[in-house]
Each structure stands twice: as C-alpha cells, then as structure tokens.
C-alpha cells in the first residue's frame, strides 16, 4: 500500500454515464493483484469529500514523453456517475492532481487446475475481472466471460477483454445487445456444459445472490467481489462490514469488506444477510 500524490493522464466517457480514468502510478503494477482496489480523491476537493473506493481495471505502461525519461506506469479505473463524488471526478482533465491510496484489500485466489474459468459481471462489475482474466490467460487457462447489463450502454470494455483472448458472451435485459435476458441464464447453460468449473463474479447483490444459489446447487466453487461504500479503505471505520457465515445476535460474525475482502469465497458469507450497511455501491467502487 502506498499513498500517491499524482496526476490524471486521461479521463474519458466511454459509454453514457460511464468513464475511464487513467492515473500515473509508478511502481503500482508490480504490486497490484486482481480484485484489489484504490481509494481516490481529487487533490483540490472540498475537505469534506472523502476518498472514494474504485476497483482497479487495468495497469500498464506508456513510452516516455522524451528520450532519457522513464516510462510512465499507470492504472485505470472505470466508474459510473451517480452522485456528487463521481460527478466531480468526471469533470477532471489530464494534468489534474489526485490523491490515491492503494492497492488495498484481498484479491481473487487463483487455482491452477483444469476446471473451466467462468467470469460473471456487468457494468461496473466488470472492473475487477479484467486483471483476473489477464492473469488467468497468462497462466494458460481458457477464460469465458458472461457480461450482463440492463441495456447496451451497460456493456463495457468488450474489445479489451477479447484482445486478451477471452471468450465473451453478452446479455441485456432489454435485448439491445447480445442475448435478451439475465446473465444468470447464460451461467446455468455454461455450468450444464462444463460441470467442472470455477466461477468468479462481481456485481449488485441481487445478481451475486442468484449466482451463489446456482453455484451452491451445483457444488461449483465461487468467489465474489462485493461492492460497498467505504470511508477509510483499511478497516478502521467499520462502515463496510458484511455479515459472515454463521452470523447471529448471540455470535456475531462481521467481515470488513475493505480489509478481509472485497473478494470472498462464497462460503464465507451469510447469504441470508450478506448485505453491507448501504446495500451496495452504485458508484462502482470497493472492488
């Protein structure tokens, strides 16, 4: 974990309401793991504006601007404009300064077995899956990504995933892109075809709960990346706790999404109560 005082390299709207921000971050790629996140705020923001959590979409390196200068390492986040904090971010430009803390949290555990690797996400839920897909492919696995959204505007970064070599399947609720219907229907078909599989999912809690039920019924290993509002990102404020497996009033079992997650094995959570205080984070952070 490192505190960066750095600059934005680019900040572009990639779909209505969705933005991609590229941030200069020397040394970040070497330590970031799939599923981790960062806490971010503009340097000139109001003192009352806390850092916001955002999943790490991608890391990379640009050539130096001039001969003799070092290459420019960066990270990218994707976010959706839904409130004041993300609206402020969308108004920033290349060269604006930001404060960034990360990488934070526990990422995905990758098993090098022969089972099929199925990734499930949609909209901002795709964010932590890109680095995961990249790492799985680097290790020689075939990766299938099931992308879901309400409309075609919620389907992001298809080209980037396909360039990695990911086999993609798209579904939208309104049928405006890909198959019409829920992404969970696609998952059921794939698990019927590939019974030896591992599933990795990120998205809103109703989708996570549906995927958990499908995987539990079929006894398929599942890792989930939770979404939650956070104030600190390091487990100090306890604002992002989620109820763990076996939780009761007599024996409470609270898990900190930012420190013990945001990625959990499905069996770690109480799926009858596995909602955070704010029941998810529509701004796309906390992955």
Per-residue pLDDT of the chain (287 residues; tens, 9 = 90+): 889 999 999 999 999 999 999 999 999 999 999 999 999 999 876 555 678 999 999 999 998 877 777 889 999 999 999 988 899 999 999 999 999 999 999 999 999 998 999 999 988 999 999 999 999 999 999 999 999 999 999 999 999 999 999 999 999 999 999 999 999 999 999 999 999 999 999 999 899 999 999 999 999 999 999 988 887 888 888 788 888 898 888 888 989 999 999 999 999 999 985 554 344 444 444 33
Structural domains of the chain, with CATH: 2-104 (2.40.30.10)
**What pTM does this model have?**
0.91
Residue 118: strand pairing partners:
144, 199
Q: Using the Cα atoms of residue 126, residue 132, residue 135 and residue 140 in order, give the sign of their dihedral.
A: negative
Rounded to whole angstroms, how far apart are CA atoms 237 and 240? 8
- CB contact at 8 A, 172 and 155: yes
What order of strands is seen across the sheet that includes strand 97-104? 52-55, 37-42, 97-104, 2-15, 18-24, 72-80, 58-62
> Mapping DSSP to helix (H, G, I), strand (E, B) and coil, where does residue 146 land?
strand
DSSP 31-67: T--TT-EEEEEETTS-TT---EEEE--EEEEEPPSST
């Amino acid at each position: 974990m490192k505190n960066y005082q750095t600059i934005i390299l680019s900040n572009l709207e990639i779909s209505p309401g969705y933005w991609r921000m590229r941030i200069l971050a020397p040394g970040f790629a070497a330590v970031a793991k799939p599923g981790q996140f960062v806490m971010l705020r503009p340097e000139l923001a109001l003192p009352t504006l806390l850092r916001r959590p955002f999943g790490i979409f991608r890391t990379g390196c640009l050539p130096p601007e001039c001969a003799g200068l070092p290459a420019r390492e960066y990270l990218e986040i994707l976010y959706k404009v839904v409130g004041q904090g993300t609206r402020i971010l969308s108004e920033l430009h290349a060269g604006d300064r930001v404060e960034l803390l990360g990488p934070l949290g526990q990422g995905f555990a990758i098993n090098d077995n022969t089972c099929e690797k199925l990734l499930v996400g949609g909209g901002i839920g795709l964010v932590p899956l890109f680095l995961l897909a990249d790492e799985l492919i680097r290790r020689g696995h075939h990766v299938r990504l099931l992308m879901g959204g309400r409309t075609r505007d919620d389907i992001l970064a298809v080209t980037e995933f396909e360039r990695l070599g990911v086999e993609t399947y798209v579904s939208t609720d309104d049928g405006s892109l890909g198959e019409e219907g829920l992404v969970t229907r696609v998952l059921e078909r794939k698990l019927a075809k590939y019974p030896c599989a591992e599933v990795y999912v990120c998205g809103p809690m109703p989708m996570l709960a549906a995927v958990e039920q499908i995987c539990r019924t079929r006894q398929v290993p599942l890792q989930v990346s939770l979404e939650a509002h956070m104030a600190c990102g390091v487990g100090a404020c306890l604002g992002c706790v989620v109820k763990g497996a076996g939780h009761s009033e007599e024996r409470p079992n609270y898990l900190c999404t930012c420190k013990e997650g945001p990625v959990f094995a499905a069996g770690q959570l109480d799926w009858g109560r596995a909602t955070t205080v704010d029941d998810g984070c529509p701004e796309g952070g906390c992955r």
